[in-house]
């Protein structure tokens, strides 16, 4: 009797410009994500202009830090990743640690923000906080990604670990099982 496995959850993970400016830090942070059993469904290196950053962070428009956040997020390259894992949203947020770097260093010293964050704005990473937010944020950075198609055609292979990691593109790809049987 096979055990039923819950579908994988998807979340958006952003590695912010402060980390992307340092290739060694970027590589180390990504490796930590891999070591925590996240699967990389898709990866994009991108640069937001100010208007795109304002649109992405529109929910914070009336907050005191909005200008600082938008200016920083449009200051250089960033990496956007679609991550998959059971409980991906909760696990990614735990791995990131608290938003405020000082709090992260004190309460979660092994978290990404404790290790790589510089300030509360330059805190190394961003992650979706709910399934609805993940859907919206993934479609912002990956408009070509179809979540329904992922669950229909690819999720089972990812869940069953029928994937291989491609370090060139920093994604997991479904293995060609037909080629392996020959």
Per-residue pLDDT of the chain (182 residues; tens, 9 = 90+): 345 678 899 999 999 999 999 999 999 999 999 999 999 999 999 999 999 999 999 999 999 999 999 999 999 999 999 999 999 999 999 999 999 999 999 999 999 999 999 999 999 999 999 999 999 999 999 999 999 999 999 999 999 999 999 999 999 999 986 544 44
The pLDDT score that the predictor gives to residue 3 is: 54
The pLDDT score that the predictor gives to residue 177 is: 65
Q: Is 65 annotated as a binding residue?
A: yes
The pLDDT score that the predictor gives to residue 176 is: 81
Helix H or strand E segment including 56:
helix 50-56
Q: Is 123 annotated as a binding residue?
A: yes
Tell me if 51 sits within 8 A of 181, measured CB to CB: no
Instruction: Give the three-class secondary structure for 169.
Output: coil
Q: Is 93 annotated as a binding residue?
A: yes
Q: Is 99 annotated as a binding residue?
A: yes
Q: Is 116 annotated as a binding residue?
A: no
Instruction: Give the three-class secondary structure for 166.
Output: strand
Dist CA 135 CA 143 (whole Å): 11
Q: Is 145 annotated as a binding residue?
A: no
Dist CA 21 CA 166 (whole Å): 22
Dist CA 85 CA 97 (whole Å): 18
Show Cβ contacts of residue 4 under 8 Å, excluding neighbours closer than 6 positions. none
Catalytically active residues are: 126
Backbone φ/ψ region at 161: left (φ over 0), alpha (ψ -120 to 50), beta: left
Dist CA 94 CA 86 (whole Å): 13
């Amino acid at each position: 009797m096979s055990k039923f496995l819950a579908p994988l959850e998807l979340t958006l993970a952003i590695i912010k410009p402060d980390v992307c400016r340092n290739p060694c830090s970027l590589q180390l942070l990504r490796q930590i994500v891999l070591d925590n059993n996240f699967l990389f469904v898709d990866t994009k290196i991108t640069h937001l202009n100010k208007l795109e950053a304002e649109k992405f962070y529109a929910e914070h428009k009336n907050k005191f830090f909005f200008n600082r956040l938008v200016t920083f997020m449009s200051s250089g390259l960033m990496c956007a990743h679609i991550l998959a894992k059971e409980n991906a949203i909760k696990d990614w947020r735990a791995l990131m640690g608290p938003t405020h770097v000082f709090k992260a260093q004190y309460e979660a010293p092994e978290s990404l923000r404790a290790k790589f964050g510089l300030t509360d704005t330059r805190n190394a990473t961003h992650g979706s906080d709910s399934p609805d937010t993940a859907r919206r944020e993934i479609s912002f950075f990956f408009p070509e990604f179809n979540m329904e198609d992922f669950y229909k055609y690819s999720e089972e292979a990812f869940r069953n670990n029928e994937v291989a990691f491609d370090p060139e593109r920093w994604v997991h790809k479904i293995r060609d099982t037909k080629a392996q049987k020959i």
